[in-house]
Chain A
């Protein structure tokens, strides 16, 4: 049976999660997160995954994708601008991970979201974002491997 985690530790881990939430475009190496939570780096990675179900880096990726989706939907920024604003260093990486997580390219997401924009303005933005958070149950690379194993992916359209 799972042993309980100390609530005092969890509260400090939550602080690291909050910091990633508010600045997901920044770099968050484990050492930096561990400092926020005032624990050792090794302890941090293990405890964070136990507490929140995903390793810290994967959590960060899901937040970046979520933010990118919001920008695709709510702004007219170019996909390149969105990639850099959400913390990616290369457009290629952004496009690949975006597709791995969401199953479609940023351009496709934008086209679809713009086509059926809903009246969400009465829901506080953060909760709305959380409701659309991609559910990263498997590692992104793992998902890619699995997809490649099962089928030849449909179109590999280059991101404009």
Chain B
């Protein structure tokens, strides 16, 4: 097992919807999907990044009270959660593929700062920046 950060989670409005989005549209894999009563621990993984899991959690009981969950749901839907960055080897190609699968892009690929970047949101409102990895000069 690699040392370091293992899981970072997102709040989503619906875990089934989020699972479909991250797996079917983004190409992630399910790592863990464990239910215990109302609670569902759901994490997905980028195929090239086996040491890291992205958690997809719905704010609510039993972890959070209803009022707090409601506030968090509003924040997520307003796109106010922290920024996320997905690094790809070809931004335009990834854009084409994901766009065809119905991913909601908020910015088409743009050349700048020596790279190419685009932006998209997951169904819940979490915002991703998709950045093309800079080629290491040989």
List B residues 74-119 near A (Cβ within 8 Å): 74, 76-79, 83, 85, 104, 106-107, 112-114, 117, 119
A-binding residues in B (CB < 8 A): 13, 70-71, 73-74, 76-79, 83, 85, 104, 106-107, 112-114, 117, 119, 121, 123-125, 129, 131
Chain A 47-64, CB-CB to B under 8 Å as 1, else 0, gives 000011000000000000
Whether A22 sits at the interface, judged by CB under 8 Å, is yes
The total of interchain contacts (Cβ-Cβ below 8 angstroms) comes to 54
Residues of A in contact (CB 8 Å), total 20
Contact B131 A10 (CB under 8 A): no
B-facing mask of A105-129, CB < 8 A → 1, else 0?
A: 0000000000000000100111100
Cβ-closest 4 pairs across A and B: A10-B77, A7-B77, A18-B106, A11-B77
Per DSSP, chain A at the interface is helix
B79 touches A17 (CB 8 A): yes
Q: Report how far A127 CA is from B53 CA in the complex, Å.
A: 24
Q: Which residue on B lies nearest to A13, using beta carbons?
A: B78
A5 to B76, CA, bound (A): 12
Residues of B within 8 A of A52 (CB): 78
A100: chain B residues at CB < 8 Å are none
- A155 CB to nearest chain B CB (Å): 34
Q: How far is the CA of A10 from the CA of B78 in the complex (A)?
A: 6
Most chain B Cβ neighbours within 10 Å, of A11, A52, A121: A11
Say yes or no for A104: interface residue by CB 8 A criterion. Answer: no
* Contact residue among A14, A22, A51 (Cβ-Cβ distance under 8 Å from B107): A22
